[in-house]
A and B are shown apart, each in its own frame.
Chain A
Amino acid sequence: KAGVTQTPRYLIKTRGQQVTLSCSPISGHRSVSWYQQTPGQGLQFLFEYFSETQRNKGNFPGRFSGRQFSNSRSEMNVSTLELGDSALYLCASSFGQGKNTGELFFGEGSRLTVL
């Protein structure tokens, strides 16, 4: 079966701009989580969506937002970009309920560079 797909894979933005990243989960998975990965901080949890509702939220400013659609696809948006937002953004999907064993299936990530 197809894995988690993230688009775009690479993008460059300038400070003050906004960006939208997309994630298509594995078919049948209803939970989508987003993580920010940087060399200094490692993987940090942004938020999780399950059945179109935000179920968990990490400690990121309100500039970071997300949503999930009825087909479980998810988008995250970062507004008013700062240099420190440069990172690899990883999306992970899972069943999220019932068979929620804690196994996350990760995408390859979207690498954002802010200039």
Chain B
Amino acid sequence: AQRVTQPEKLLSVFKGAPVELKCNYSYSGSPELFWYVQYSRQRLQLLLRHISRESIKGFTADLNKGETSFHLKKPFAQEEDSAMYYCALRFPPNTGNQFYFGTGTSLTVIP
């Protein structure tokens, strides 16, 4: 069965420190993975998708099929990065918009 796991509910880092938000998935095929973010008093929105191989707001995420992981990383955390982050798997891939979301990680960047 498809499943997304985010092991950390809360994560605190100091400004300027590296940050890594963990995401592991269960899916036997080629996954389509995304990171969504919700800033305080804002709506849930797309941060990045693995297929685009893009860096958004300094964040990157690499798909590791061997470890079935899609961790989100940023080398130098900023205060404005404080938010709730959700990892998501779209299944079936390329068919519709059915997403499996992780339970989220709340990131706090300490000034």
Residue ranges of A at the interface with B (Cβ–Cβ < 8 Å): 3-4, 31, 33, 35, 41-45, 48, 50, 55-56, 58, 90, 92, 94, 96, 100-108
Please list 23 pairs of residues, one from A and one from B, whose beta carbons are closer than 8 Å in the complex, sorted by A's number: A4-B43, A31-B97, A33-B97, A33-B98, A33-B99, A35-B101, A41-B103, A42-B101, A42-B102, A43-B99, A45-B99, A55-B96, A56-B95, A58-B98, A101-B49, A102-B90, A102-B97, A103-B46, A103-B49, A104-B44, A104-B97, A106-B44, A108-B43
Known: A50-B96, A96-B96. 6 other contacts (CB 8 A): A35-B101, A43-B86, A100-B97, A104-B44, A106-B43, A107-B43
Give min CB distance, B86 to chain A, whole Å: 7
Interface size on B, residues (CB 8 A): 21
Check if A94 sits within 8 Å of B97, measured CB to CB: yes
Residue B59, interface by CB 8 Å: no
Q: Which residues does chain A contribute within 8 Å of B103, judged by CB atoms?
A: 41-42
Residue ranges of B at the interface with A (Cβ–Cβ < 8 Å): 32, 34, 36, 43-46, 49, 86, 90, 94-104
Give min CB distance, A56 to chain B, whole Å: 4
Partner of A102, one of B32, B45, B100: B32
Check if A104 sits within 8 Å of B43, measured CB to CB: no
Q: Give the nearest-CB partner of B99 in chain A.
A: A45
Give min CB distance, B33 to chain A, whole Å: 9
Give min CB distance, A42 to chain B, whole Å: 4
Q: Give the nearest-CB partner of B49 in chain A.
A: A102
Q: Which residues does chain B contribute within 8 Å of A31, judged by CB atoms?
A: 96-97
Give min CB distance, B10 to chain A, whole Å: 13
Q: Which residues does chain B contribute within 8 Å of A92, judged by CB atoms?
A: 44, 97
Q: Give the nearest-CB partner of B1 in chain A.
A: A59
Known: A56-B98, A104-B97. A42 touches B43 (CB 8 A): no
